[in-house]
Amino acid sequence: MNSKNDYQKYHDTKINEYQNCEHLLITYEIDYNERLPYAYGNLGCIKCGLKFGIYYKNDKANLTPDEKIMLEYLEKQMNEHNYFTGEDIYWRCNLDLATAIVRKIKEKHPNIDNATLEKYFKIAMVNMNNSRVTPERLENRAKRLSLKPNAWKKINVIRR
C-alpha cells in the first residue's frame, strides 16, 4: 500500500465517523477578539473529536492534516444544510481529555446512549476535578489516556 492510498482510507474513515456521529458538544477553547466586545467558545464533539471552531478560524493555512479533514467536512455540512448539528452539554474542558474519557467509558459500555454517556462523562469530570493526587499520579493517568500531562490542569476540567 502506498501512503496516498492509506491517507485516502483514513480520510474517508474520518469523514464517515463525523457524518455518523450524534455529536455531544463541549466548549474546548475560548476565542477573544480585540475588535469585538465579547468572547465566544469553540465547540467540539466529545465522541468523535470534531472541532467545530476550525470552521471559523482566520488562519486556515496552518491546519494539521486532521484539522483539514474536519474543515472539509464542516464546509460541506455548511454548504448543504447551512447549520451544524449536535447537542451542547454545557461543559468546558480540554477536548483531548474529554474524548479520552469518553473512549474509556465506551470501552466499558459499548452500546451506551447519549444521555447516559453525558451523565457518566460529567460524573468522571467532577470526580477528577475534586480529587487530590500527586503530580506523578496525574502523569500516569495522562499516559493511560494517551494524553499530554498538561491536559490535566484544573483549568481544563471545569463546568460552564
Cell 506523578, located at residue: 136
Work out the percent of the chain whose per-residue pLDDT is above 90.
51
Whose grid coordinates read 484544573?
Answer: 154
Beta bridge partners of 51: 44
**Residue 27 is part of which domain span?**
3-159
User: Above 80 in pLDDT, residue 91?
Assistant: yes
Strands 24-32 and 87-93, by their bridges, are parallel
C-alpha–C-alpha distance, residues 25 and 118, integer Å: 10
Upper half-sphere CA count for residue 140 (Cβ side, 13 Å): 5
Q: Quick one: cell of 109?
A: 459500555
Across residues 53-63, what is the average pLDDT? 83
Residue 155 has pLDDT above 50, yes or no: no
Buried residues in 22-35 as b, exposed as e (16+ CB within 10 A): ebbbbbbeeeeeee
Mean pLDDT of 58-70: 89
Beta bridge partners of 92: 27, 158
pLDDT value of position 136:
82
Does 89 score more than 70 pLDDT?
yes
Indicate the number of domains in the chain: 1
Mean pLDDT of the chain: 85
- By three-state DSSP, how is residue 67 classified? helix
